[in-house]
Chains A and B, each alone.
Chain A
Amino acid sequence: MLTQIAYALPFLAQGFALTLWVSLLVVVLSLIAGVLLGVGLVYGPVPLRWAVRIFSDTIRGIPILVLMFFVYYGVPAIGLHLPSFWAAVLALTLFKTAQVIEYLRGAVGSIPKGQSEAAMAIGLTFRQRLAYVIFPQAFRRFLPPWINGVTDAVKGSALVSLLGITDLMQAINQVIGRTYEAMPLYILGALIYFAVNYALSLASRRLERRFSFIRE
């Protein structure tokens, strides 16, 4: 049993690398999209606010799996070519973007109004207010939940296995298909996911404690 699993380790490592790569792409892309849309939600004109609100509430209201199948099967159906890897990344990114929007709204919303007003009073432009007054303070509120949310991206990435992409989850299933050692391999897989996500949640908790001195 152990020799069979040892034999499969390089294959599992490849799958794990893909899991990390998908997670990294999703985290970076959703951070950019989420911050932009989140600023749109808080400061944008009313139509934009509504659009972002509807986007976020819709995405957060459906299972990530449905979103994934919708993108994977639906995008080629309307005649666009999208490799399965990018379909999976797109779906996970849409999902994560909605989360980032809410983290940003929460963080910016927690900064007292007086801060913006003071910044306006000393003649800072909108961009300067965001860059020098609002964001540096909101950052501390944004970071802990965001890091904790990275675990959602890592866990969510396991769903790409359903689209035939050989991530850690799919690699485990394939090794089980050959060796019939289901339980040891699922436990090994669970421990790997656990190690990554637990480290992230610890980091998040530590940061939260470190930033907890900040009061309104």
Chain B
Amino acid sequence: MGYALNFNLIWRHFDKLWGGLLLSLELAVISIAIGIVIGLVLAVWYVSAGRVVRTIIAAYVEFIRNVPLILLVYLVFYGLPTVVDLAYSAPTSFILTLSVYSGAYLVEVFRSGLEAVPRGQLDAGKAIGLTPWQRLIHVRLPTMLRITLPALSNTFISLFKDTSIASVISVPELTYGAQWINFNTFRIVEVYLVTTAMYLLTGYALLFGLRLVERRFRAAR
């Protein structure tokens, strides 16, 4: 058990962790932005579509939710370029994967949100003469977004943690930085202690910040 903690080497290479953390956040932000678009479009489509479309959207959601993320990351990065004529960098590949991944979770979030919009609001929209499109844009979506905000923040925080999987295709995010320091300095316990602290602090700071936003926009009950 003779392990003496020595953080000097960690601080010397701290830019790997700090740069990694920023990249992790960037990956999460871009992915959830695309994921929100996918989720919104498919959820709105789902609630008004017939059986075939519903089955296809449900199949997408169920497939993504029941397959390990690491396999999807490999599939998009190593598998997809062998069958389609596309070339992309590892970060792009990961963003693509995480967007499609988060899209599947967000379809569910938005779908249940749309169903939770009180019937009376839609009737009221109809009564003042809004077209179906106007009812969607001005009544249904704003209320739905307020209802789904907590679930949206939770999804974002879990996506932030999921960005660690990007390290398996050598995207230099936080976990990759930690592994680099692990292999190059062998200050193993120290680097993972610091990395754990960084994930925790960022995660809880995000949670706290997003809860404030939620309070500001809370749906009227």
A residues with CB within 8 A of B:
58, 61-66, 69-70, 73-74, 77-80, 151, 154-159, 161-162, 169, 172-173, 176, 180, 182-183, 186-187, 189-190, 193-194, 197-198, 201
Task: Find out whether the CB atom of A65 lies under 8 angstroms from the CB atom of B83.
Answer: no
- Are the CB atoms of A176 and B2 closer together than 8 Å? no
In the bound complex, residues from chain A placing their C-beta under 8 Å from that of B196 are: 58, 62, 66, 70
Number of A-B pairs, beta carbon distance below 8 Å: 116
B68 touches A169 (CB 8 A): yes
Nearest CB on B from A20, distance (A): 14
Contact A182 B78, beta carbon cutoff 8 Å = yes
**Residues on B with beta carbons closer than 8 Å to the beta carbon of A183:** 75, 79-80, 82-83
Chain B residues with CB under 8 Å of chain A are 1-3, 62-63, 65-72, 74-75, 78-80, 82-83, 161-165, 167-168, 175, 178-179, 182, 186, 188-189, 192, 195-196, 199-200, 203-204
Contact A193 B68 (CB under 8 A): yes
Residue in A64, A65, A159, A190 whose beta carbon sits within 8 Å of that of B75 in the complex:
A190
CB distance from B183 to the nearest CB of A (A): 9
Q: Are B175 and A66 in contact, CB atoms less than 8 angstroms apart? A: yes
CB distance B1 to A78 under 8 Å? yes
Which residues from chain A contact B66 at a C-beta distance below 8 Å?
A: 151, 155, 193-194, 197-198, 201
**Quick one: given A73-B192, A187-B75, are A197 and B179 in contact (CB under 8 Å)?**
no
Contact between A62 and B70 (Cβ–Cβ < 8 Å)?
no
Not counting A65-B175, A183-B83, a sample of 4 additional A-B residue pairs whose C-beta atoms are within 8 angstroms of each other reads: A78-B189, A162-B168, A182-B78, A193-B68
- Interchain Cβ contacts under 8 Å between A and B, 18 examples: A62-B199, A63-B164, A63-B199, A66-B164, A69-B175, A69-B179, A70-B192, A74-B192, A78-B3, A79-B1, A80-B1, A161-B70, A169-B70, A180-B82, A183-B75, A189-B71, A194-B63, A194-B67
Residues of chain B within 8 A (CB-CB) of A78 are 1, 3, 189
- The residue among A63, A79, A198 with the most chain B CB atoms within 10 A of its own CB is A63
Contacts of A79 in B (CB 8 A): 1-3
Given A176-B78, A201-B66, are A62 and B161 also a contact pair (CB < 8 Å)? yes
Q: Chain B residues with Cβ under 8 A from A189's Cβ?
A: 71
Residue of A nearest to B157 (CB): A61
Please judge, given known A-B contacts A61-B200, A198-B62, A201-B66, whether A186 and B167 are in contact too, CB under 8 Å: no
Q: Which 3 A-B pairs have the closest CB atoms?
A: A63-B164, A197-B66, A158-B68
Contact partners of B178 in chain A: CB under 8 A: 66, 69
